[in-house]
Amino acid sequence: MPGWSVAAGKAASVGIRYPCSACGNLTRFDVVTSRRTRAFHHYTVGGDLQVEDEAVLDEHVDEVTCRWCGDGAAVEEIDKALDGAAEVTAAASDRSGAT
């Protein structure tokens, strides 16, 4: 039955977990993220800015550091989405040619 194929693309970071294999931490991490966005900057005549319709064009996690032991090297990245719904066809958005 079709209908559940709307998986990939949107909330990409929600399914990511970062277990630290050094100390067992599962819940506390410092995450450095690079995000490229496009937004509608709506100025009033007086110069006040209101940002609307912000869209994330690109998002990349640069660094994850364990909050407990401070070790970034021991932190693994686990995609729960892949874990739970293994049948999801690998996203067709393989950006080859990016840097």
Among 14-22, 44-52, 55-63, 81-89, the segment contacting Zn ion (CB under 5 A): 14-22
Contact indicator for 60, 33 with CB cutoff of 8 Å: yes
In the chain, what is the straight-line distance between the N-terminal and C-terminal CA atoms, in Å?
Answer: 39
Neighbours of 66 (CB within 10 A): 22
Nearer CB in complex with Zn ion: 22/61: 22
Q: What is the rounded distance in angstroms from the CA atom of residue 28 to the CA atom of residue 34?
A: 19
Site string for Zn ion, 76-95 (x = CB under 5 A): --------------------
Q: Which of 20, 29, 64, 65 binds Zn ion (CB under 5 A)?
A: 20
Rounded Cα–Cα distance for residues 59 and 55 (Å): 11
For position 64 contacting Zn ion by CB under 5 A, the verdict is no
Interface residue with Zn ion, options 7, 12, 22, 31 (CB under 5 A): 22
Residues found near Zn ion in the complex (CB under 5 A): 20, 22-23, 25, 66, 68-69
